[in-house]
Amino acid sequence: MKTQILNRNESTEQAILQAGEMLKSGKTVAIPTETVYGLGANALDEKAVAKIFEAKGRPQDNPLIVHIESTDKLELYCDDIPDKAYKLAVSFWPGPLTMVLKRKSVIPSSVSAGLDTVAIRLPSNEYARRIIAASGCPIAAPSANTSGSPSPTKAEHVLHDLDGRIDAVFDGGDSEVGLESTVISLVGDVPRLLRPGAVTPEMLKEVLGEIIIDKAVTQLISSQEKVSSPGMKYRHYAPRAKMTLIRGSIDATERYIKENLCEKMAVLCFDGDEKLFSEYAFTVTYGAENDSKAQASRLFDALRLLDRDDVERIYARCPKSDGIGLAVLNRISKAAAFDIVDV
């Protein structure tokens, strides 16, 4: 299959209409969102949804997020919507927040991997919203990477992973946030944070009061364990090389790395640290130490840069965990299979 690149050579308006038409007719189109690129298909069309799993090599038990263009569509796809959902929608939609609610049967069970719930999100990216509107259908879209690799924040990342396996990618430039949406489940008594993102626990608590942070956010979950969010148990974001997070000051980190030198080594560090390591290691930076937002937007590109044949061992500086830092820490910890050393 030849993957078309939309919005490079034609007018944006024309490209949006074409993406919408393709989605409506059952094709797969990767679309830009403010978090990461998503691999979209018509959520009401089971055959189209099956193509997503196929193209990504995604395990069948990992449910998809359904993207809508306006809050009033919630009632079409979800049952028993609690007030809390509307409160969250008013505060954070359109934006990087996904809510897990009871699924109506119009959404095929395969979208939700057989669960009786469905994850719903209203993205803020203009292209995403206009493409969804042009398609006239809800769009199921996981991140547009091959299963297991870092989520794509550029059209180039999508093509690197999926060229020839999907019908089109709409090039909308770099994703702003750079990490996937916050996922919160509203089906239990107390809202449960399943995946941290740009809508932080502090922001959620302000609207909801109490929330539970699922243990998969901060710990390694074995593949046998029962989890609230199936996606949390899979190995993720990982370059081929083994990666270890070093938590501590730059001095202690430098000392540790010097004591543990190895062949084909790389260091993932903060802006300005690179001069300490570049003489003996391939060095990649992912933002300033105190700038969690920059780290969020650069982490996945950095992990992709580290995924090369001449890198077999990676040491990474550990990010702070407040605000959006919790999401950065969650993703980088998963990339390191939660191998963290305190120095």
**Of positions 3, 7, 143, 182, contacts Mg ion by CB under 5 A:** 143
Q: How far is the CB of 132 from ligand TXA (least distance, A)?
A: 11
Run of H or E residues at 95: none
User: Of Mg ion, ligand TXA, none, which one sits near residue 17, judging by CB under 5 to 8 A according to partner kind?
Assistant: none
Cis, bond preceding 59 (omega within 30 deg of 0):
no
201 dihedral zone (left: phi>0; alpha: psi -120 to 50; beta): alpha
Question: Strand runs (DSSP E) across the chain, as ranges?
Answer: 4-6, 29-31, 38-42, 65-67, 78-79, 97-103, 117-121, 139-140, 168-170, 182-185, 192-195, 212-213, 242-247, 265-269, 282-285, 313-317, 340-342
Distance separating alpha carbons of residues 285 and 277, to the nearest angstrom: 11
254 binds ligand TXA (CB under 6 A): no
Site for ligand TXA contains 180 (CB under 6 A): yes
Candidates 3, 7, 18, 35: give the one binding ligand TXA (CB under 6 A): 35
Choose among ligand TXA, Mg ion, none what residue 63 binds, the Cβ cut-off being 5 to 8 Å by kind.
ligand TXA
Two structure tokens written together for 168? 């089109």
Is 198 a binder of ligand TXA (CB under 6 A)?
no
- Nearest distance from residue 336's CB to ligand TXA, in Å? 18
The CA dihedral of 149, 159, 119, 23, to the nearest 10 degrees, is -160
**Buried b / exposed e across 245-269, counting CB within 10 Å, b at 16+?**
bbbeeeeebbebbeeeeeeebbbbb
Among positions 48, 141, 281, 306, the unique one binding ligand TXA when judged by CB under 6 A: 141
In the list Mg ion, ligand TXA, none, the entry touching 100 (Cβ below 5 to 8 angstroms by class) is ligand TXA
Region of 16-24, 30-38, 162-170, 240-248 interacting with ligand TXA (CB under 6 A)? 30-38
Query: Among residues 12 and 146, whose Cβ is nearest to ligand TXA?
Result: 146
- Binding to ligand TXA by residue 118, rule CB under 6 A? yes
- The burial class, CB within 10 Å (0-12 / 13-18 / 19+), for 62 is middle
Q: Which stretch binds Mg ion (CB under 5 A): 8-16, 80-88, 142-150, 181-189?
A: 142-150
* Of 22, 23, 48, 65, the one binding ligand TXA by CB under 6 A: 65
153 binds ligand TXA (CB under 6 A): no
Which residues, other chains included, contact 34 with Cβ-Cβ below 8 Å and sequence gap of 6+? Answer: 95, 96, 123, 124, 125, 128, 175, 176, 177
> What residues contact residue 129 under an 8 Å CB cut-off, 6+ apart?
69, 94, 122, 123
Closer of 33 and 200 to ligand TXA (Cβ): 33
Regarding 62 and contact with ligand TXA (CB under 6 A), the answer is yes
Q: With binding defined as CB under 5 A, does residue 181 bind Mg ion?
A: no
By CB under 5 A, residue 297 contacts Mg ion: no
Query: Which of residues 63 and 201 has its CB atom nearest to Mg ion in the complex?
Result: 63
List of residues contacting ligand TXA (CB under 6 A): 33, 35-36, 38, 62-65, 98, 100, 112, 115, 117-119, 121, 141-143, 180-181, 183, 194-195, 229-232
